[in-house]
């Protein structure tokens, strides 16, 4: 069975759908991917450093 691969652009598009308000269940069903795969992509695309507003103001 051939393994389906997604390009960087496709992955970004899928993650943007979630940012737009679609639920994870809807996204994984629509694209035929596993929920774990979605969260792996999301964790890899997350910013490395997250600052709070107090840290930015300092």
Q: Beta-carbon neighbour count of residue 11 at 10 Å?
A: 19
Contact 35, 27 (CB under 8 A): no
Task: Give the tens place of pLDDT for each residue, 9-52.
Answer: 999 999 999 989 999 999 999 999 999 999 999 998 876 555 56
Three-state DSSP state, 51? coil
pLDDT, position 54: 60
Which of 21, 17, 41 lies closest to 30 in space, CA to CA?
17
Contact 17, 27 (CB under 8 A): yes
pLDDT, position 41: 92
For the record, the structure tokens of 33 come out as: 């991917």
The position carrying tokens 């652009």 is 9
């Amino acid at each position: 069975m051939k393994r389906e691969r997604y390009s960087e652009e496709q992955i970004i598009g899928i993650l943007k759908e979630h940012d737009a308000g679609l639920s994870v269940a809807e996204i994984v069903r629509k694209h035929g991917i596993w929920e774990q795969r979605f969260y792996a992509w999301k964790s890899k695309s997350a910013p490395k450093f997250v600052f709070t507003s107090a840290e930015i103001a300092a």
